[in-house]
Amino acid sequence: MSAQTHVPSLLSRAGTASVLLAAVGGTMLAPGAVSEAHAQPAAAKALNVAASKKGAPYKYGASGPHRFDCSGLTAFSYKKAGKALPRSAQQQYNRTRHIAASSRKRGDLVFFHAGNRVYHVGIYAGAGKIWHSPKSGQVVRLERIWSRSVWYGRVG
């Protein structure tokens, strides 16, 4: 069988897009969608910025560059990555695209809540850990997520 007669057979069985995708090794996207490779650089950069602030002291209301509260750290980190976030943890939650825990990726925001009230935020670092500025007397650090009362948000 020649390649010319074989290709139409593949196209009719698997669909044109699937065969072309397999042939070129690319990624199939919906029109207007941004691939994960394009969507994640800001998140990766924000995560790196937060990690670079390891040891910076907590200060209520501070948003950097040398002292931070929790939402100040996330806003500062994303600002350095080219994305604007509002000031408070609750406002940041309201502004992000809410995602399931199973969909979380490095650089997503982790929101700690009591009922419907968000009281703390950090940046997901992978392996169940976040970079955050915990509270007065402590410093920016990497820490395991300690609660099940968390929501996740992706900065768009």
pLDDT digits 0-9 by tens, 34-66: 344 444 699 999 999 999 999 999 999 999 999
Catalytic annotation, residues: 70, 120, 132
The CA-atom distances, in angstroms, between 138 and each of 58, 84, 131, 145 are: 6, 26, 13, 16
Structure tokens at 144: 């395991």
Mean pLDDT (whole number) for 108-119 = 97
Cα separation, 134 vs 89, in Å, equals 13
Taking only the tens place, the pLDDT of each residue in 134-151 is 999 999 999 999 999 999
The reported pTM is 0.75
Structure tokens at 149: 């009362």
